[in-house]
Structures are given as structure tokens and as C-alpha cells.
Amino acid sequence: MTMIDTDPAAVGDAPTAALYRLTDVTRTYRQKQRVIKALTGVGLEIGAGEFVTIQGPTGGGKSTLLQLLGALDRPSSGSVVLAGTDLAKASDAELGRVRAREIGFVFQGFNLIPTLTAAENVDMALEPLGLPKAERATRVAEALAHVGLADRTDHKPTELSGGQQQRVAIARAIVKRPRVLLADEPTGNLDESMRDEILAVLEGLCAEGLTLIVVTHDSAVARRAHRRLRLDKGTVRDITR
């Protein structure tokens, strides 16, 4: 069953406050003779507006889980329901639509296009939405103002600090007004003061209702979350207390 329709609002609202509901999720990679079980039966609910961090050792399955949450991949078995839509059963086109509208991504390395200005980088995320040009410009300006970069819209990435570049990346992620922001080590390349600057921006967005799911090795980041998860050998454990 799919709840995605032609309405631009896209994903239908779930009957409960759970934004994500994962049931018995496995993800197995097959490489020639080898079978790698990256996720081995994950059950998880994440509520709308939650700030959840995912910690754990390298190879534990964090990026694999984030890719499933981000509609970039499908599980080998089990279901990944986002606001009523099972991403495990969705077509490629449906997954693409969910990614374009519902999910913002932030990466450790910022992933900005070096030849484009901050505003142009942010505008890229609106490409698939087919909005009128004036609306796009308004949204880009608002998103950059939201992360405190109203005065840096015409700067290229090399003319910005690491913290500012990551704030442009966050603006790019939120400009489409997604339900959830997924971040893989968003402060991994930043010093402490820039980390705190990014944390403040993320917490501000969460306070406005955005759901945050952040993979991090930094316990200073995890301490600020509502809920801390640990992913080890493909299994999730709650380590909030």
C-alpha cells in the first residue's frame, strides 16, 4: 500500500505521532562470495520533532540505517514506514519524490558545489519542486537568514569558514521544508566552536518542529539529543540513560 499521491504535500500523515516506524529491518550486502549483514533486525520508532543521535563503532551500520531512513535505499527485509508510506515497497520514483520533498541531508564534508555561491547552492535543492522563480528566491533568502547567513548569500564556499559552509549545507537541506533532517557526522570536520555553532542551529530547527536524526561520534553532540541510540553489529540499542 502506498499513501503517496499526486498532491504536492506528498507523504500522507500517519495516524500516530510516529514519523518513522521500522519493523524487523535487515540490510544484507552481497559481494561476490561474501554476505555482509549490515542491519540484523532493527525495530525503531522516531516521533515527529524528536532529536535522535546514533552512535556506534565504524562498520556498525549507521550509514546503512541513515540511507534507509533517507529513502536512498530499501531494506532486504522488513518495513521502513515514513508518515504512512512504506519505503521498502515504494518505487524508485516514489523514493525520489520523498527525498526531494520530505528529507534534508547534511554530510560531514558539506558537499557544496565550489563554483556556486551560497544562494545558488541552496537553490539547487528546490530544482525538483518546480516552484516559480520568485518563490524560489524568497525561500533561499529565508533559509540562509535562518542559519544566520543573510549577509553571505553571494559568497562561494572557499570564502566561508567551515562552520559557515555547514550552515549553507543546512540551509540547502531545509529550504524544501522537509519533515526530517538526516545528518551523517555533521560536526566531524569542525572545531569545537564551530561545532557549537552548528549544534545551536540544529537545536533551533528542532525547536520549530523539525525532526533531527544525527549520526555522530561526538558525545557532546549526543548529550544534547532527546534520545541516544547505539548501533553495533547491525543492532540498535537505546543508551539515553
Residue 78 binding: pick among ligand ADP, Mg ion, none (C-beta 5-8 Å cut-off by kind) = none
Among positions 55, 63, 187, 216, the unique one binding Mg ion when judged by CB under 5 A: 63
CB 111, CB 62: distance < 8 Å:
no
Q: Exposure pattern of 189-224 as b/e (b: 16+ CB <10 Å)?
A: bbeeebbbbbbebbeebbeeebbbbbbbebeebbeb
* Among the residue ranges 62-70, 89-97, 105-113, 216-224, the one whose residues contact Mg ion (CB under 5 A): 62-70
User: In the complex, what is the shortest distance from the CB of residue 236 to ligand ADP, in angstroms, rounded to a whole number?
Assistant: 11
Q: Does 58 bind ligand ADP (CB under 6 A)?
A: yes
CB 153, CB 117: distance < 8 Å:
yes
Residue the block writes with cell 519533515? 179
Give the contacts of 1 (CB within 8 A, at least 6 positions apart).
86, 89
User: In the complex, what is the shortest distance from the CB of residue 98 to ligand ADP, in angstroms, rounded to a whole number?
Assistant: 20
Residue 112 binding: pick among Mg ion, ligand ADP, none (C-beta 5-8 Å cut-off by kind) = none
User: In the complex, what is the shortest distance from the CB of residue 64 to ligand ADP, in angstroms, rounded to a whole number?
Assistant: 3
Among positions 59, 109, 128, 204, the unique one binding ligand ADP when judged by CB under 6 A: 59
Q: Does 64 bind ligand ADP (CB under 6 A)?
A: yes
Q: Does 164 bind Mg ion (CB under 5 A)?
A: no
Q: Does 61 bind ligand ADP (CB under 6 A)?
A: yes
Instruction: CB nearer to ligand ADP: give 38 or 125.
Output: 38
Phi, psi of 182 (to 5 degrees): -105, 130
- The 26-55 site mask, x for binding ligand ADP (CB under 6 A), equals ---x-x----x-x-----------------
Q: Which three cell numbers stand for residue 38?
A: 549490515
Residue 61 binding: pick among ligand ADP, Mg ion, none (C-beta 5-8 Å cut-off by kind) = ligand ADP
> In the complex, which residues of this chain contact Mg ion (CB under 5 A)?
62-63
> In the complex, which residues of this chain contact ligand ADP (CB under 6 A)?
29, 31, 36, 38, 56, 58-64
